[in-house]
Amino acid sequence: MNSFGCLFRITTWGESHGGAVGVVVDGCPPRIPITPEEIQQELDRRRPAQSKLVSQRRERDRVYILSGVFEGQTLGTPILMLVWNEDARPEAYEPFKHLYRPSHADYTYQVKYGIRDWRGGGRSSARETVGRVAAGALAKKVLRSLWQVEILGWVEQIHTLRADIAPDTVTQEQVESNPVRCPDPSVAAQMMERIEQVRKQGDSVGGVVRCIARNVPPGWGSPVFDKLEADLAKAMLSIPATKGFEIGSGFRGVAMLGSEHNDSFYTDEQGRIRTRTNFSGGVQGGITNGELIDIRVAFKPTATIFQDQHTVDEWGEPAVLKARGRHDPCVVPRAVPIVEAMMALVLVDHALRHRGQCGG
């Protein structure tokens, strides 16, 4: 289904070149102050045509809030947020109408539904994430207002270039200081160069987004299937073009011994129980322990490239796809606000669920 969350539940809707895209947010706590500008700010971080690194589709992506907010505050009722599709140019996709683009979802949608909106990928377009980012902006506001939780993502890797960032001290200003959203300026410069080089070849690259949450109280999450890390994994793998997820030590933890990997407990000066290391990534047994939530998400190289590709058409006949239209040689910088949004949605939902069951 197109919904996410149990108590703070969002439902996104919209095709890339249909009338509009948007989201309904249900279950939001009442009396949270929110303005369209706060939503817009996050959408602007996701928007295409921010820089030449990304797709040149020209969308203002202006958000309209049609319900659920009254005199600047949430009502507790569903919040509908909508963005019109202004720069839809379906004719650009006309030549691919009957072709299956490799590593896109044309074939799988067609085989599942027996019909698809072929204009720009329809529902499978990353344009769907407009609704997630809008909802995520609200989720962030709730988390900040009620629990002082802050979420921060950045680009850790592009292709083979990797930045080593200290999660405890990195700031949003550092992240936003360059278009590639990598807080290490020298690696950022190399990354931009790499993307530009790949763009010229008509090719594409992927990368890794790392995302943390600060000030998360201990006790959020759930023991078994809805472990916080399980819901984060689902949230992240639901983002288009993702292929992997790690929390804490991730795949690197495999090569460690238990005696190295275990996070020892101690009591800090404020009397709070803490761990000396954070290989756990802020969760133990599915429940937060008060340390940084720390995850990584792998994005594959964008499927749209500007090189001829072999494929088949709807009737199974061999065909050659000549790439056209607008695209991102690298989606990863624009994915940062999406990853943050999904983390915010998971956390706010678990915050409300914890309060419901345990009164916290």
- Shortest distance, CB of residue 45 to a second copy, whole angstroms? 21
Is 108 a binding residue for a second copy by CB under 8 A? The answer is: yes
> What does the block give as tokens for 282?
């802020």
Choose the binding region for a second copy from 33-41, 43-51, 168-176, 228-236 (rule: CB under 8 A): 228-236
Q: Which is nearer to a second copy, 171 or 193 (CB)?
A: 193
CB of 321 closer than 8 Å to CB of 309? yes
Binders of a second copy among residues 280 to 299 (CB under 8 A) are 280-281, 283-289, 298-299
Query: Is residue 205 close enough to count as binding a second copy by CB under 8 A?
Result: yes
Q: State how beta strands 265-267 and 273-275 pair.
A: antiparallel
Query: Tokens representing 126?
Result: 């990353």
Would you say 68 or 333 has its CB closer to a second copy?
Answer: 68
Interatomic CA distance for residues 140 and 143, integer angstroms: 5
Under rule CB under 8 A, residue 89 binds a second copy: no
Tell me whether residue 186 or residue 357 sits nearer to a second copy (CB atom).
Answer: 357
Residues 2-31 that bind a second copy (CB under 8 A): 2-4, 6-7, 9, 11-15, 18-22, 24, 26-31
From residue 354, alpha-carbon distances to 217, 223, 284, 299 in Å are 11, 12, 16, 31
The whole-angstrom distance between residue 335's C-alpha and the CA centroid of its chain comes to 5
Written as six digits, the tokens of 351 are 């915050």
- Contact characters 247-266, a second copy, x per CB under 8 A: xxxxx-xxxxxxxxxxxxxx
Instruction: Look up tokens 């002082």; give the residue.
Output: 148
**Cross-strand pairs, 310:** 320
310 to 329, contacts with a second copy by CB under 8 A?
310-312, 316-318
Give the angle subtended at the CA of 283 by the CAs of 278 and 285, to the nearest 5°.
125
Closer residue to a second copy, CB minimum distance, 17 or 45: 17
Of 113 and 189, the one with the shorter C-beta distance to a second copy is: 113
Stretch that binds a second copy, among 37-45, 166-174, 185-193, 222-230 (CB under 8 A): 222-230
| Residue in 36, 76, 167, 179 binding a second copy, rule: CB under 8 A | 76
The tally of CA atoms less than 13 A away on the side-chain side of residue 29 is 20
- Residue 315: enclosing H or E segment and its boundaries? none
**What does R_g of the chain's alpha carbons equal in angstroms?**
21
Task: Candidates 42-50, 110-118, 165-173, 181-189: pick the segment binding a second copy (CB under 8 A).
Answer: 110-118
